[in-house]
Structure 1
Amino acid sequence: MPSVASIPSVPRVLQWDVHRLPNAVGKRVLVTGGNAGIGYFVAEQLAGAGATVVLGSRDTGKAEEAIASIASRVPDARVKHVPLDLADLASLKASVDALGLDRLDAVVLNAGVALDHPPRRETKDGHELMFGTNHLGHFALTHHLAPLLTTTPGSRVVTTGSFAAKSVRLDLDDLQNTHDYQPKRTYSRSKLAQMLFALELDRRLRAAGSTTESVLVHPGGALDSLTPSRPPFHVRTTGERLSRLPLGLVVQGKDAAAWPAVRAVLDPSVRGGQMVSPRAFGLRGAPRTEPLWKHLADSTTAARLWAASCDLTGCEPTFTAP
């Protein structure tokens, strides 16, 4: 058993203030889907703390609008865009090369596709679109980012899950949802796959003696009508804001939904394998660490998902101790 003196100290944050973030100057962070929604506010808040932020997005025009919006609110913001299409696995290495970085402090795996209605759709690689983009795309991206993250002591992989994943289970015999396709269930399963990936990655990082940490977050409930305007890509009318005010007692805007991911990137007291979520019933409020849901601790299912993901993508995120 190690002596007390041999256990490395971990900086503690007694009270996390979402409006007074620690200085992040010098940190470099990639945010997938950082051009809109929750990802945009993750990028805006990190840039406000001084980090250099890269928006990973398929849509160059929307990324440029997001960069202009951040620049209008954050003097001297350091934000740029890299083309990123998680539904095209063969393109991901080129996207990582286009970062032009020799180190990376964190990646926030935030981008996602959510379909509400049939028909079932597929990625360029023939995978069901939501599972292929939300999980397999981020799985493969992490593989390509591993050298940059390994080069950076204390780097972090922050994976965005969802409250929707709490009530579903994976079907390991039908990960592609080819039978009895139900869009909302398929989306929830894709988010559960991401969450299991984050925790299996944490186990593998610790086993390898890596200083990179894998942190899981979920944003709670987030509505556009409770989200402050960021024209031109999001404009909230006065009528929408007033009509939805009662919902603010239960859920929140996407600016607040970004808080768990921002804390997971910047708070040195958050550790790998932990889950950060909104304080009030996991739906709204300041971010805190919370116990893992029971089915997230299923390491057998997570390991089988990992093996299947390796087969489906042709790659495996591997981290070695620096």
Structure 2
Amino acid sequence: MSSASQNRSWDVHRLPSARGKVFLVTGGNAGIGYFVAEQLAATGAVVVLGSRDAAKAGAAMASIRSRVAGAHLRHLPLDLADLSSLKGAADRLDLGHLDAVVHNAGVAFDDPPRRETKDGHELMFATNHLGHFALTQHLAPLLSAAPAARVVTVGSFAARSERLDLGDLQSREDYRPKRTYGRSKVAQMSFGFALDRHLRALHSTVLSVVAHPGGALDSLTPSRPPIHVTTPGERLRGLPAGLLVQGKDAGAWPIVRAVLDPEVRGGQLWGPKVFGLRGAPRLEPVPAHMADPVVAAALWAASGELTGTDPHLGFARP
């Protein structure tokens, strides 16, 4: 895709119809995930919000329905930090196929202490990466049953400055919250690119694409009460930052394009046009440290061992 064609042919405010398709958005009840769900719902697709909290998912669905007439929405109870629950969650979808999963849900901590899941995994690495890694296996049959399904992994601009420590993936030796979060997103994105290489080797019809929201601030995000409320004062104070970053509604644009655009190809990275921080979605070069096949293979092997998953993640040749 040329730079001109990728931007001229896509309008973030006039999305193509996806009626008849089914999309799962993990963490679809808040933040970037909420706006991804809202925008996908406007295409006529069935959108499933994966969320641990039924009340928050219900509030999110009510908000979407107030803005999208006739929205087709479902809630899937989903806790990515609980690996033993993920197969049951996938089974509860009760679908014949799944056209896309958006691996969006995540946690981020600014301060110590280091937290662990009940399985003994560091919580950010477990939720952001390991949970999605394992969920992919459980969704593989549904994705393979769709004509051209997509796994869209939501990365972060913060991952550009971090590198994986394969000897300390779970930050047992050196836990610094912001760095641990950044490394969990590197792991997610590296897996997203490795997954597409794996799918191509299997001649699968499923694509794996990575997208990131750039810089997305609450103060620049439109209100969606009770999900999110931006006061006039907060919005006014956030206006100067709007020269470089954007709200979470716009942060959803590259992810939504990665789900919907028929021109998107597997193994691509999509982000905002202006310095990778704001603006319409564009195709970006994949950073070398996220495309390193040796690092990706080591991460894949470690992730499989930690989650007890099939080395092929349940995908087979069509």
TM-score by length of structure 2 reads 0.96
**Residue 320 (structure 1) aligned with residue 316 (structure 2):** yes
Q: Give the match's secondary structure for 1:80.
A: strand
Structure 2 residue 24 is matched with structure 1 residue 18: no
Paired residues for 1:277-292 under 5 Å? 277-292=271-286
1:58 aligns with 2:29: no
Paired residue type of 2:97: R
1:234-260 C-alpha deviation (Å, 9 max, x unpaired) = 111001111111111100000000001
CA distance in structure 2 between the partners assigned to 1:108 and 1:221 by the alignment: 19
Q: Hey, what's the Cα distance between the residues in 2 that align with 1:30 and 1:248?
A: 30
Distance 1:297 1:106 in 2: 22
Counterpart in 2 of 1:121?
A: 115
AA partner of residue 317 (structure 2) = A
> How far is 1:321 from its partner?
2.8
Q: How does 1:1-322 map to 2 (within 5 A)?
A: 14-316=8-310, 317-322=313-318
Q: Partners in 2 of 1:87 and 1:126 — Cα distance? A: 10
CA–CA separation in structure 2 for the residues paired with 1:13 and 1:79: 30
Aligned partners of 1:297, 1:127: CA distance in 2, in Å?
25
Give me the whole-angstrom Cα distance separating, in 1, the residues matched to 2:145 and 2:14.
29
Tell me the CA shift for residue 297 of structure 1. 1.9
Q: Partner letter of residue 293 of structure 1? A: P
Deviations 1:239-288 (A, max 9, x none): 11111111111000000000011000000100000000000010000001
8 A contact 2:41–2:72 mirrored in 1: yes
Shift of 1:318: 3.0
Distance 2:264 2:67 in 1: 28
CA change 1:204–1:239 in 2 (3 A) is same
Q: Deviations along 1:152-208, whole A, 9 cap, x unmatched?
A: 121000000101110011010111100121010000000000000001100000000
Tell me which stretches of 4 or more aligned residues in structure 1 moved more than 6 Å. none
Write the distance in 2 (CA, Å) between the matches of 1:49 and 1:248.
28
Q: CA deviation at 1:136?
A: 0.2
Count of matched residue pairs: 312
CA contact (8 A) 1:13 1:267 kept: no
Paired letter, 1:147: P
Name stretches of at least 5 consecutive residues in structure 2 with no aligned partner: none
Q: CA offset at residue 13 of structure 1?
A: 8.1
How many angstroms apart in 2 are the aligned matches of 1:74 and 1:80? 14
Per-residue deviation, residues 61-82 of structure 1 (Å, max 9, x unmatched) = 0000000000000000001101
Distance 1:12 1:190, change over 3 A: closer
| Deviation for aligned residue 1:12 | 8.1
Deviation track 1:19-67 (CA, whole Å, cap 9, x = no partner) reads: 0000110110000000000000000000011110000000100000000
Say which SS state the counterpart of residue 228 (structure 2) adopts: coil
Superimposed CA distance per residue, residues 71-106 of structure 1 (whole angstroms, 9 cap, x where no aligned partner) = 000000001101000000000011111111110000
Alignment RMSD, CA only? 1.1
